[in-house]
Amino acid sequence: MMLPGVQYYTGQVLPMAEITAVAHDAGARVGFDLAHAVGNVGLSLHDWGVDFAVWCSYKYLNGGPGAVGGAFVHERHIGDRSLPKLAGWWGQRPDIRFEMETVFDPIATVESWQLSNPSILTMAALRASLDTFDRAGGMEPLRKKSSRQIEYHDLLLAEVIGDRVETITPAALAERGCQHSLRIRMPGVDGRAVHEGLERAGVACDWRHPDVIRVAPVPLYNSFTDIHRFVGILDQVLDEAAR
């Protein structure tokens, strides 16, 4: 089975460890699409026993469009030569790569899934971003800050915006990352116009068909002041839309 780690529309974090255990009991192999999870929530893929996972690096990892994707394969599968694999020359053991033998002798890690060499310019951007994650202390302190930002954002939305907007992201911290999926609940007000108003005011957020605005205070580079400013702007944009 393959599931998202974080659901792209609602922002729900799936209980990956529990899902993996239940699926394994049923004899299934489990993979996760971590496009919206990596760099957002803590991941312990090895300890959870996840069989495989993939992710892109241009969302929370800031790699930019076209940056290399990532893959995880649990070490219990690494030696399994029966797994289907596109055998590329960069998956070949580096010490024999240029011997040009006709037999594929893979690197003994997930690197054996590499097909070819990556673009250095996009790798440089990704490297700079990952260095910044390291300087911030990694995911643990970032998630700690994120948890407070999530609560602060919820609090301000409740106090300032009230029932004009509904959050469809689960309320429990364990079930969410920094994404808040907002739905406008004002009769006669088109959510898309609200999204456009936010963008015009300089907020980088996202419209998802049919009716959701995704906003994400990201702990690596968003401050609590940003959240305060965002809710103030949303309040203004909603007032204008209601007129």
Q: Which residues contact 16 (CB under 8 A, 6 or more apart)?
A: 5, 32, 43, 45, 48, 50
Binding interface with ligand PLP (CB under 6 A): 4, 8, 33, 35-36, 56, 69
Nearer to ligand PLP, 4 or 217 (CB): 4
CB 86 within 8 A of CB 66: no
- Are residues 14 and 20 in contact, defined by beta-carbon separation less than 8 angstroms? no
d(CA 185, CA 35): 29
- Name the residue nearer to ligand PLP (CB basis): 182 or 231: 182
Q: Which is nearer to ligand PLP, 36 or 153 (CB)?
A: 36
Closest CA to 110 of 16, 161, 45: 45
Contact 204, 198 (CB under 8 A): no
Of 71 and 107, nearer to ligand PLP (C-beta) is 71
CB of 35 to ligand PLP, least distance (A): 3
